[in-house]
Homo-oligomer: A and B are copies of this chain.
């Protein structure tokens, strides 16, 4: 698929609801399992998505749209949520993510971006030159990657319980 703004926004709008439908009021035991050391639980992923809303996606769009001579992004702190969210209930994080995402989608739509705007340049602090269109496609793919991660991490909690069916469940070994 080529990036089409309404198609991209359709996914961005759905991510909070999909994660809420999967995780809301689930027994705690599902929320804090991991895949191994230094990996994230479903709870951690929601915190990371909140960080993206607060510090990454729209701030980077604004840097590109400002059109300065050196449109370099701030580095994204991938570990901020681990300091901020300990002890909070997941429901509060799900609510916060949904509210921030709705605001950010409204902000994005308010920019009334044209096809040509999607070619506007930014500079990633590590990856180098990128475009606004690439940033928006990444926002979408990043959401979907983390939905996949949450489901995969949950599946792995039953890695032993499935017995011989393990051979038929590639999600357990990805």
Contacts and interface: CB of A to CB of B under 8 A. Distances in A.
A1 B11 CA distance: 32
Contact of A141 (B129, B134, B162): B162
Interface string A121-134: 00010011111011
Contacts of A124: 164-165
A46 interface: no
Contact of A161 (B3, B21, B162, B170): B3
A137 B163 CA distance: 9
Given A148-B151, A148-B155, A151-B147, A127 B165 contact: yes
Interface in A129-160: 129-131, 133-135, 137-138, 140-142, 144-145, 147-149, 151-152, 154-155, 157-159
Contact of A22 (B27, B141, B147): B147
A80 interface: no
This protein's copies in its complex: 2
A171 interface: yes
Nearest to A133: B161
A159 B137 CA distance: 9
Contacts of A161: 1-3, 133-134, 137, 141
Given A141-B165, A141-B169, 9 more contacts: A1-B29, A1-B161, A10-B27, A11-B30, A11-B154, A127-B165, A137-B165, A142-B169, A148-B152
